[in-house]
Amino acid sequence: MTDNLLTAESPALDQRTSFGFWVYLMTDCLLFASLFATYAVLRGATYGGPGPHQLFDPGFVLIETLILLTSSFSCGMAIVAARRGNKNLAFALLGLTFVLGVAFLTMEISEFTHLALSGEGWTHSAFLSAFFTLVGTHGLHIAVGLVWLTTLLAQTAKWGLVPGMLRRLSVFGLFWHFLDIIWIFIFTIVYLWGIA
């Protein structure tokens, strides 16, 4: 049964999968829009504590951003390689995407840990609650994406680049690029606007 799903490319299944995933992405857009709106309203509610200007390191965040954007590029190139039938290159680029995703998530956790240990945890002010919720939700999505990518790497190694795998890789690519777009908004609204 599984082999049939992986090898047979049904146009009806493709349309349902694509439509369902786009619906999911739109609901995620609504989730992030509400978190951005909440952050914008609570940005100045520091409860007498430090604000974004005092807390954020622009150099650190720029490195995070470059890592995530590079992972998006490697993910896109992996899908191009997969569509051309180059399994080894696709596998290597997906592996690079995974490593870069782990590096990004490690830096995000490091930032959260540093803030919490310096007494600026999510309960300190409304501003920090909104910050941790917004950026943490993005980080959770990255973590889920890494689990998904691990599964895709295992499936690609086992079955190769059969049509069903190409569809799965394409859907994952949409998800990963979506997370990069959300991060660009976070980088601009939370970090650049915060330190301006």
pLDDT in tens, 41-91: 998 888 888 888 889 988 999 999 999 999 999 999 999 999 999 999 999
Q: Which tokens in the block code for residue 167?
A: 């569809």
* Residue 69 dihedral angles phi and psi, to the nearest 5°: -65, -35
Q: Which tokens in the block code for residue 183?
A: 């991060």
pLDDT bin (cut points 50, 70, 90) of residue 147 is: very high
pLDDT, mean of residues 138-160: 95
Model's pTM, two decimal places?
A: 0.88
- In this predicted structure, the answer to whether residue 1 has a pLDDT above a threshold of 60 is no
Domains of the chain: 60-188 (1.20.120.80)
Q: Are 165 and 82 in contact (CB under 8 A)?
A: yes
For 95, residues 6+ apart whose C-beta sits below 8 A from its C-beta are: 153
Closest CA to 93 of 158, 174, 169: 169
- In this predicted structure, the answer to whether residue 196 has a pLDDT above a threshold of 90 is no
